Amino acid sequence: MNPSSKFENLVELISILRKECPWDRRQTHDSIKDNLIEEAYEAVEAIDKKDYDELSKELGDLLLHVIFHSKMASESGRFSIEDVIRGISEKLIRRHPHVFGNTIVSDENEVASNWESIKLTEGKESILDGIPKHLPGLIRAQRMQEKAANVGFDWAEWQLAWEKLNEEIDEWRESLSGQSASEQKEEFGDLLFSLVNVGRLLNLNAEDSIRMANKKFDKRFRYIEKKLTEKGKSITESNLEEMDAFWDEAKSILK
């Protein structure tokens, strides 16, 4: 079989692998669900790097998982790839009445509000339904805030949210004087949630921001290790003063 750019040929290729490859044949929805998450994060990493050749490859990996899960479901009579395509097509048409119907909207905020209203007519009990509970905490916090904002539950301006952030900082600081570890954890969570809120109102993405901070820390700490190695020392043989000096050096060199 030769490589092809046609969707139906990829579906056929995966069907063949499912029949003839021992590894592919053994997989279940559960056995590869973590791989699906991993592929999604790799696609996000390619986007962050602006590496569009890599993004093309990672989107292919994601497409593979969509078709693979659909193939496994079709084998047990649950649904097919055609059902997946039809379902998302119906949803997109239904939730865009300003494009495919007679609804008039003035801006993207009204589109978002209509989107949430339509979801409630589809059997959702809350506008927060559909946000996966296992999303990373910062992403889930931002998505919940965005959905609440779509229906008008939001701060009028970021300065008001900043006041709430300062209030949460004070409450967390107070909890450190005699309160239980559980209470301290709760106050710390409230502080993080408020911080996400301020960032969101300033059009900053919390998860993107923490990824940037993690990347920065990773580069600078590895620089410290590299410089210590050049001096014939390991990280455990150094002290805070020496490591701080290399950290400051890394800050001036690494951008």
Q: What pLDDT is recorded for position 178?
A: 87
Return all residues near 176 (Cβ < 8 A) that are at least 6 apart. Answer: 184
This prediction's pTM = 0.74
Question: What is the average per-residue pLDDT within 28-39?
Answer: 94
Q: What pLDDT is recorded for position 121?
A: 85
Q: What pLDDT is recorded for position 38?
A: 93
Contact 81, 95 (CB under 8 A): no
Q: How far is CA 203 from CA 129, 132, 138, in A?
A: 23, 22, 14
Token pair for 228: 């210590």
Q: What pLDDT is recorded for position 114?
A: 87
Token pair for 21: 């490859």
Token pair for 234: 């390991």
More confidently predicted of 255 and 153 = 153
Q: Is the pLDDT of residue 255 over 80?
A: no
CA neighbor of 8 nearest in space, from 87, 73, 82, 91? 82
Band (pLDDT 50/70/90 cuts) for residue 64 is: very high
CA atoms within 13 A on the CB side of 74: 15
Question: What is the average per-residue pLDDT within 162-182?
Answer: 95
Q: What pLDDT is recorded for position 45?
A: 92
Contact 184, 175 (CB under 8 A): yes
Q: What pLDDT is recorded for position 112?
A: 87
Question: What is the average per-residue pLDDT within 10-19?
Answer: 96
189-231 pLDDT per residue, tens? 999 999 999 999 999 999 999 999 999 999 999 999 999 999 9
Contact 46, 58 (CB under 8 A): yes
91-139 pLDDT per residue, tens? 999 999 999 998 998 898 889 888 888 888 888 889 898 898 888 999 9
Mean pLDDT of the chain: 93
CA neighbor of 207 nearest in space, from 191, 192, 217? 192
Q: What pLDDT is recorded for position 164?
A: 96
Q: What pLDDT is recorded for position 123?
A: 82
Question: What is the average per-residue pLDDT within 17-24?
Answer: 95
Band (pLDDT 50/70/90 cuts) for residue 47 is: very high
SS3 187: helix
Concatenated DSSP letters for 222-246? HHHHHHHHHTT--GGG--HHHHHHH
Report the CATH architecture of 7-92: Orthogonal Bundle (1.10)
